[in-house]
Amino acid sequence: MNRTFILWRLEGKHTIKMLPAMFADALFLLGILGMVALGAAKLFLRDIPAVQITVALVEEDENPLTDMALNYVQGMESISESCRFLQVSKQEGFTMLQEGRAAAVVLLPGGVIEGILTGSNVPVQVYFPENAGIESALLKELTDAGVRMLRIAQAQIYGIYDTAEEYGALERLSVLETEVDRYNLAFALDRLALFREREISAPGELSMIEYAAASGGIFFLLLLGMACYPMMQPYSAVMRKQLAREGISVCAQCFGKWLCGLCCMGTGGFCFGLSVKGLTALSGYAYLFPKVHGERLAVVLMSGTVILLCVTTFVFLIFQAAGNGTAAILALFFLASVMMYFSGGFLPSVFLPDIVRRIGEILPTTYLIEAAGSMYTGTLSAKTAGVLLLYTAGFGIASLAAGRRMP
């Protein structure tokens, strides 16, 4: 038998022998991921706003009454959760707006509170940036809604006064106002009626839980590479030289190791999928697992294949470039975590800073999460599959180059 095939066969045997140890490592990883998932679920399932809006407040005149009113407003739970008010000078406020550090600048003129009390209503000016981002858009929506509420409330107050005066019932004015307030609070000022209610999901077509499952699966696969180190780590220098002397090229040596890694990752990924399916079925959340029958099966298989090829080749590249197992494991953990963060694997990218989003767009993990998500949507875009295959080819070539450069 050709010596290269013997080497591959022995590596295969080696891989089978190492599978139990790899599964033990994978279980440990699952434990860590489970804890991360639990934390993430607690974060995502809380009914709190995902963004906090920074508003620059500019008081044109120092006024204790205005300060008191502002402290009261800022202290309200619904406000403090979604907005952060910073009292600044006018110039500083506009600088913050230009630099994108504030979603709006609110100019409070002198006597604004007194104006409300006397009915003179000194206008408050609110400035939004020209290319308003999500925070500014939200704040504008809130401000408009508030203005509408105030307008209605004021119209009602004047209406009650005029009606009471017309019918000579001014002595009953306080009773009438209390009644109108009750109606307003119960029906007319129902805040939901003033907002357009539209459910949107940060991860696009996927629900938050599906997105978390897709990115969690990719993160697991990347970390599984650490458990595959006995198969993926390069041979010792002396072994490589001896194999080369016997006519087993670097390319053949690398291919054998990569193939074993692919089998390990494939088996690990398959078992991970099965265990998640089992757990979701047992806990009554079977609908959370992607459907893998009928037409969907082909998409799941295609996505799974491109994901597996890309992740395995990436992990293999890290092992080849690092040169030894320990360095590769550390590098893999660091790179996987950073790349997943940049690609929105831990928090959907719409919530990340612009620069992080832009870097994330070119990372393979972004496309890997998309491909994993396609198992839920049932459509794998040609672009995603193509990019992942290109990445796989690139990683493969780089691995070979790294293998050839080893001493």
Residue type, 182: R
Q: Rounded to whole angstroms, how far apart are CA atoms 105 and 85? A: 10
Per rule CB under 8 A, is residue 151 in the interface with other proteins? no
Does 17 participate in binding other proteins (rule CB under 8 A)? Answer: yes
Judged by CB under 8 A, does residue 89 bind other proteins?
A: no
CB of 218 closer than 8 Å to CB of 372: yes
Question: Binding to other proteins by residue 407, rule CB under 8 A?
Answer: no
Q: Is residue 323 involved in binding other proteins (CB under 8 A)?
A: no
Distances (CA, A) of 328 to 189, 227, 236, 250, 318: 60, 11, 14, 19, 6
Selected from 71, 98, 207, 242, the binder of other proteins by CB under 8 A is 242
Total chain residues near other proteins (CB under 8 A): 23
Task: Using only the alpha carbons of the chain, give its radius of gyration.
Answer: 31
Of 187-195, 243-251, 349-357, 358-366, the window that binds other proteins (rule: CB under 8 A) is 243-251
The residue from 67, 81, 114, 246 that contacts other proteins (CB under 8 A) is 246
Q: How far is the CB of 12 from other proteins (least distance, A)?
A: 11
At residue 53, what are phi and psi to the nearest 5 degrees?
-95, 130
Neighbouring C-beta atoms of residue 210, cutoff 10 Å: 21
Give the nearest distance from C-beta 253 to other proteins in angstroms. 12
Are the CB atoms for 35 and 241 separated by under 8 Å? no
Site residues (CB under 8 A) for other proteins, limited to 172-231 = 230
238 lines the binding site for other proteins (CB under 8 A): yes
Residue 251 touches other proteins, criterion: CB under 8 A: no
Q: Does 404 bind other proteins (CB under 8 A)?
A: no
- CB 290, CB 216: distance < 8 Å: no
Pick one of 101, 172, 182, 241: the residue that binds other proteins (CB under 8 A): 241
The angle at the Cα of 341, spanning 338 to 347, to the nearest 5 degrees, equals 165
Is residue 13 a contact point for other proteins (CB under 8 A)?
yes
Binding-site member from 127, 161, 235, 351 for other proteins (CB under 8 A): 235
- Tell whether residue 10 is a contact of other proteins (CB under 8 A): yes
- Segment interacting with other proteins (CB under 8 A) among 2-10, 80-88, 126-134, 395-403: 2-10
CB of 229 or CB of 314, closer to other proteins: 229
Residues that bind other proteins (CB under 8 A): 1-3, 6-7, 10, 13-14, 17-18, 230, 235-239, 241-247
